[in-house]
C-alpha cells in the first residue's frame, strides 16, 4: 500500500510574529512543522503498521530547512522523504497544493494524508485542493483511519461533539484533525542516525496555481477590550456576576 503524507513547513507562532512590509518577515522567524501534520504523520504510520506498505512524506522546502522535519518523520516510521524545492517562503496554500499534487501524481498513492489545516493561513484548503488536482475524494476533520482491502473507514468530527463514520473506496485524501493515538516521540539519537544515512529525493516545483490573492496589509491585531478580574469571596463574586449579566440585559 502506498501511503503519502503531504506536509507544510510554516512560520512558528511560539513568539510574536515579525512583520516586514505587508507580509511576515520570513528572514527572522523560525519555521516549524504544522502541528496537524504531526498528527497526520502519526496516523499514516499507524495505518502502515496495521496493513503494511510504505509511507512517503512530501513537503515544499520553503526556506531550505525542510530536511530536519523530514528526518524526524523518517525517525518516526516514514520510509521515504521527498522535498519540493519551492524556495519561496511566501508560497500560499493554493500554490503548495498544486506543487504537492504534481509530486504525488507519480507515486501511485492509495491514500494521501494531510493536516486538516495549518496556523499560517487557517483556510484548510490544501487537502481539498490536492484531492481536486488528483481527482480523488476528500474527507477532512478526521480523527481515526482504518484500512481494510480497498476501503478506508474514517471517523469525521463535526461541531458539537457529533461524529460520523464513512467507508470510502481508495484512493482518497484524508484531512487529519487528530491521530487515533498521540504522535510518538522520536529519540534524538534515532533522528541523528537517520540524518546521516537517509536520502531525501528532490523534486522541482511544477505547475502554477496561486490563489490570486495579494496582501494589502499585515499587522498585529489591535487590542480592543480586556478581561476584568472580579475579586472577593465566592458569594460576592457570584453576586457581582449576576449584577453584570442583568446590567447587560443578558438575564
Partner 1 sequence: MAGPIKAKYVEKEHAVVDGVDISGHWNRMFEPRTIFEYTPELIEKVADIPGGESFANCYQCAKCIAVCPVDIVGNYGPRKLYRYAQTGMDLTEAPELWLCTTCKNCLRVCPKEVDMIQIMPAVREQAILTGKFVPPELQQAFENTAKTGNPLGQPQRKRDAWIQSAGVTIPIIKDVARPVDVLWYVGSYPSYHPRGIDAASAAARIFSALEIDFAILGKEEKDDADSQRLAGEKGLFEMMTEYNIETFNKYEWKELVVTGPHELNAFKNVYPKHGFERPVVHYTTFLARYLDRLKPLLKHRVEKKITYHDPCYLGRHNGEYEAPRKLLEAIPGVELVEMQRNRENGYCCGGGGGGMWMDSFTAKHTTMRLSEKRAMEAASTGANVLAVACPFEVSRFTDAVKSTGNEHVDVLDILELLDKSMRGE
Interface with partner 1 includes 234 (CB under 8 A)?
no
Query: Minimal distance in Å, beta carbon 184 to partner 1?
Result: 7
Q: Which of 95, 101, 99, 114 is nearest to 173 (CA)?
A: 114
How far apart are alpha carbons 122 and 63 in whole angstroms? 20
Q: Which of 53, 63, 81, 109 is nearest to 194 (CA)?
A: 81
H/E segment holding residue 39: helix 35-51
Interface with partner 1 includes 184 (CB under 8 A)?
yes
Q: State which residue, 161 or 187, has the beta carbon closest to partner 1.
A: 187
How far apart are alpha carbons 89 and 24 in whole angstroms? 9
Q: State which residue, 49 or 243, has the beta carbon closest to partner 1.
A: 49
How far apart are alpha carbons 90 and 77 in whole angstroms? 30
Using CB under 8 A, which residues numbered 4 to 43 contact partner 1? 12, 14-15, 30, 32
In DSSP terms, which residues pair with 56 in a beta bridge? 4, 80
Query: Minimal distance in Å, beta carbon 73 to partner 1?
Result: 14
56 DSSP 8-state letter:
E
Cell 498528527 identifies what position? 39
Q: State which residue, 189 or 224, has the beta carbon closest to partner 1.
A: 189
Query: Minimal distance in Å, beta carbon 32 to partner 1?
Result: 7
Interface with partner 1 includes 70 (CB under 8 A)?
no
Interface with partner 1 includes 182 (CB under 8 A)?
yes
Using CB under 8 A, which residues numbered 189 to 208 contact partner 1? 189-192
List contacts with partner 1 (CB under 8 A): 12, 14-15, 30, 32, 182, 184-185, 187-192
Amino acid at each position: 500500500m502506498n501511503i503519502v503524507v503531504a506536509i507544510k513547513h510554516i512560520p512558528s507562532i511560539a513568539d510574536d510574529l515579525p512583520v516586514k512590509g505587508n507580509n511576515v518577515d520570513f528572514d527572522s522567524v523560525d519555521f516549524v512543522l504544522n502541528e496537524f501534520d504531526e498528527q497526520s504523520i502519526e496516523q499514516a504510520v499507524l495505518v502502515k503498521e496495521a496493513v503494511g506498505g510504505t509511507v512517503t512524506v512530501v513537503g515544499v522546502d520553503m526556506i531550505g530547512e525542510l530536511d530536519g522535519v523530514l528526518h524526524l518523520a523518517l525517525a518516526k516510521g516514514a520510509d521515504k522523504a521527498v522535498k519540493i524545492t519551492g524556495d519561496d517562503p511566501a508560497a500560499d496554500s493554493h500554490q503548495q497544493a498544486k506543487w504537492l499534487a504534481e509530486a504525488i501524481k507519480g507515486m501511485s498513492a492509495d491514500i494521501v494524508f494531510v493536516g486538516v489545516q495549518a496556523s499560517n493561513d487557517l483556510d484548510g484548503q490544501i487537502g481539498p485542493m490536492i484531492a481536486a488536482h488528483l481527482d480523488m475524494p476528500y474527507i477532512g476533520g478526521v480523527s481515526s483511519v482504518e484500512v481494510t482491502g480497498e476501503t478506508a473507514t474514517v471517523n469525521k468530527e463535526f461541531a458539537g461533539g457529533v461524529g460520523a463514520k464513512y467507508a470510502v473506496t481508495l484512493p482518497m485524501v484524508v484531512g487529519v484533525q487528530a491521530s487515533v493515538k498521540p504522535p510518538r516521540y522520536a529519540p534524538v539519537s534515532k533522528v541523528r542516525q537517520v540524518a546521516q544515512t537517509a536520502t531525501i529525493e528532490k523534486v522541482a516545483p511544477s505547475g502554477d496555481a496561486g490563489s490570486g490573492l495579494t496582501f494589502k496589509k499585515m499587522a498585529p491585531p489591535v487590542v480592543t477590550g480586556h478581561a476584568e478580574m472580579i475579586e472577593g469571596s465566592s458569594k460576592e463574586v457570584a453576586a457581582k456576576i449576576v449584577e453584570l449579566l442583568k446590567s447587560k440585559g443578558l438575564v
